[in-house]
Amino acid sequence: MALFTLYLFPSVIYSGMGFLSFYMPVEMSMPRVATTMLALLSLSSLRVQLVNSIPSSGPMSFMEEYLLLSIFMMYLNLLGHVVSFYYMKQKRHDISDFV
């Protein structure tokens, strides 16, 4: 139960927060990026906390793999924002709203 309350539940909240930033209008670039970066940094902090609390010998644990995947997905989320801003600058609002 401690694993759930300390790592899994907060990581789901942070990931959801990061992906919900896509619902903000594209014109609100700073809040979109800031929300995603906050989620990315929070997930990174959770992973560091987890790595420091478990033994370093042996294969990577499920939670380490999960948090690493979550961090990678937040990075892709950030790239999605960059692509959206690029198309907004090119006056391609149909594509920027889609992304």
Q: For the chain, how big is the Rg over CA atoms in Å? A: 16
Tens digit of each residue's pLDDT, the chain (99 residues): 677 788 899 999 999 999 999 889 888 889 999 999 999 999 999 999 988 888 877 888 888 999 999 999 999 999 999 998 888 888 887 776 666
Non-local CB neighbours of 73 within 8 Å, separated by 6+ positions: 15
Q: Which domains does the chain carry?
A: 2-55+62-98 (1.20.58.390)
